[in-house]
Structure formats: structure tokens, C-alpha cells
């Protein structure tokens, strides 16, 4: 069953920029789809449509129901979106308040909400950040807390915009391991194509507001002409031949 279906979605920003031009794709329950594409391709704009933050023309369906027919709170709990800029997501005085906010709004008691929040923070290795002010965190710390604030809601679909951008190598690996252990359906926009190779079943190449190809991640990630045509490169982990330049090519030829 397709848990998310996007049909002919188009969206222009108020200044007239056409960010999406008829994008269609489907994600089956439990699968992991990567959205890949050059800067400005429309990936973040697309993700913001999946839980109703933006509303373009065309259709977005969750389990077959057009999302505008679902109660907003239910949709946002079911389709959890971690923003590209985590500071857009965190607005409370402390990290713990931020991660407790959603469960409290769902009607849990303060004790239950706090217990869940602490558990969720621990799952992303951020329990020690609980008393800190979100806007004083480093970029990587903020990203983990934003992820915890979404995981705490127990989403059925996890939508992640650049989940490892700005993380140190250990933090990147920890997030990849964490995501690999989650059974939810995942939709991940990223420039980290090695992460895609590790985590995603399928990939969708977006460019210029359109979907140019969707297929098994391994197939698309090794399709050099396709990737190059859209500003991408085969990731190091999937390159069969070394591609480092010969020393000669580093010397200017005059």
C-alpha cells in the first residue's frame, strides 16, 4: 500500500518562483525514499507539502486520503517533518520543553510527556542537552534535538530534510544507524549520497521542480550520465574505479 502519494504537485512562491512543476511519486509503507538533486531543485519545497505546511495545486494523499481532509494535528503527528534548518523547529526556552511540547499537546500528562521526551532525546544521544536553550546549541546538536522532537510523536512517516548536514562524522554515523533501526516509512532529502546508498531502497532525482527519475537507489546512484545531467555524482562508496585526478592534471598547462 502507498502510504504517501503525490500527484502532479505544482507550487510557486509568492515572488513568482516556480519551485514545483507537476511532481508525482509514491512511497509504499515501510520503504525509504531518497530525494536527491542539485541546490534549488525543489526538494525542501516538496517536503513542506507532505504534512500540509504548504499547499500547492495537485494532490498529496496519506493512506489514500487527500491530506486537506485530515485534521492538521493528526497529519502532523503521523507525517513527522524535520526541517532543513532545525532552528525553525525549536522555539521553547529549553530543549526538554521543546521535545515535551508535542506529547503535551496530544494530551499526555506532564509526567508521561517528560518521560517520552527524555527517552526520545536519549535515542538521538542528546539527553544531556535537556536543560539547554535550543538557540544556544551547535548546528549538529540542534539537528539531533529537532529529530527527537519529531520522533517523540511516533510518526508513521518520517520526512527528513538534510538529516546529517553539519554533523561530525561520528554524529553522522549515529544518525544513520538510528534511522536504519527505525521501521517507519522514510522520505529523506539529502546531498549525502553515501547515506542514500546505506539507507534508502529507492531514490527520486529532482531538478528544476520536476521529478526526473524514480527507481531502486542502487541503480540510480550508479547511473553516472543521469546523475551528471542533474548536477550529481556517483557517491564514493559506489565508485568502482578510483577517480582521483592524476598529479599531471593539477599542473596548469601553459
Ligand X SMILES: Nc1ncnc2c1ncn2[C@@H]1O[C@H](COP(=O)(O)OP(=O)(O)OP(=O)(O)O)[C@@H](O)[C@H]1O
| Sign of the dihedral through C-alpha 232, 236, 238, 241 | positive
Nearer to ligand X, 210 or 218 (CB): 210
Residues 84-103 that bind ligand X (CB under 6 A): 84
Nearest to Mg ion by Cβ — which residue? 44
To ligand X, the closest distance from the beta carbon of 75 in angstroms equals: 20
Contact code string over 208-247 relative to ligand X, x by CB under 6 A: ----------------------------------------
Size of the site for ligand X (CB under 6 A): 13
Taking CB under 5 A as the criterion, the residue among 44, 87, 198, 214 binding Mg ion is 44
To Mg ion, the closest distance from the beta carbon of 161 in angstroms equals: 6
Size of the site for Mg ion (CB under 5 A): 3
Nearer to Mg ion, 17 or 65 (CB): 17
Nearer to ligand X, 42 or 86 (CB): 42
- The DSSP string of 30-71 is T-EEEEE--TTSSHHHHHHHHTTSS--EEEEEETTEEGGGS-
Q: Which does 41 bind (CB under 5 to 8 A by kind): Mg ion, ligand X, none?
A: ligand X
Q: Which does 13 bind (CB under 5 to 8 A by kind): Mg ion, ligand X, none?
A: ligand X
To ligand X, the closest distance from the beta carbon of 213 in angstroms equals: 15
Residues 7-66 that bind ligand X (CB under 6 A): 13, 15, 17, 19, 37, 39-45
Residue 158, classed as helix, strand or coil, is strand
Q: How far apart are CA 154 and CA 213, in angstroms?
A: 30
For the CA atoms of 204, 207, 213, 214, the dihedral, rounded to the nearest 10 degrees, stands at 10
Q: How far apart are CA 217 and CA 58, in angstroms?
A: 26
Q: Residue 193 interacts with ligand X (CB under 6 A)?
A: no
Helix axes 110-123, 139-151, angle to 10 degrees: 130
Nearer to ligand X, 15 or 111 (CB): 15
Candidates 170, 183, 215; CA nearest to 196 is: 215
- The DSSP string of 186-232 is EEEE-S-HHHHHHH-SEEEEEETTEEEEEEEHHHHHT-HHHHHHTT-
Residues making contact with Mg ion (CB under 5 A): 43-44, 84
Residues of this chain that interact with ligand X (CB under 6 A) are 13, 15, 17, 19, 37, 39-45, 84
Amino acid at each position: 500500500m502507498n502510504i504517501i502519494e503525490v500527484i502532479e504537485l505544482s507550487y510557486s512562491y509568492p515572488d513568482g518562483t516556480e519551485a514545483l512543476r507537476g511532481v508525482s511519486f509514491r512511497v509504499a509503507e515501510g520503504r525509504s525514499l531518497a530525494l536527491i538533486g542539485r541546490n534549488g531543485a525543489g526538494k525542501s519545497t516538496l517536503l513542506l507539502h507532505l504534512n500540509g505546511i504548504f499547499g500547492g495545486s495537485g494532490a498529496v494523499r496519506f493512506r489514500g486520503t487527500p491530506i486537506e481532509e485530515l485534521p492538521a494535528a493528526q497529519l502532523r503527528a503521523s507525517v513527522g517533518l524535520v526541517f532543513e534548518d532545525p532552528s525553525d523547529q525549536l522555539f521553547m526556552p529549553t530543549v526538554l520543553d521543546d521535545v515535551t511540547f508535542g506529547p503535551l499537546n496530544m494530551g499526555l500528562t506532564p509526567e508521561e510527556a517528560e518521560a517520552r521526551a527524555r527517552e526520545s532525546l536519549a535515542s538521538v544521544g542528546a539527553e544531556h542537552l535537556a536543560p539547554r536553550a535550543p538557540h544556544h546549541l551547535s548546528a549538529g546538536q540542534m539537528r539531533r534535538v529537532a529529530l527527537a522532537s519529531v520522533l517523540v510523536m511516533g510518526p508513521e512517516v518520517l520526512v527528513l530534510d538534510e538529516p546529517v548536514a553539519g554533523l561530525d562524522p561520528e554524529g553522522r554515523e549515529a544518525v544513520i544507524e538510528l534511522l536504519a533501526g527505525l521501521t517507519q516509512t522514510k522520505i529523506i532529502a539529502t546531498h549525502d549520497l553515501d547515506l542514500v546508498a546505506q539507507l534508502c531502497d529507492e531514490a527520486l532525482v529532482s531538478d528544476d521542480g520536476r521529478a526526473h527519475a524514480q527507481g531502486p537507489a542502487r541503480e540510480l546512484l550508479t547511473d553516472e550520465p543521469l546523475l551528471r545531467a542533474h548536477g550529481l555524482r556517483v557517491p564514493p562508496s559506489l565508485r568502482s574505479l578510483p577517480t582521483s585526478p592524476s598529479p599531471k592534471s593539477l599542473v596548469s598547462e601553459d
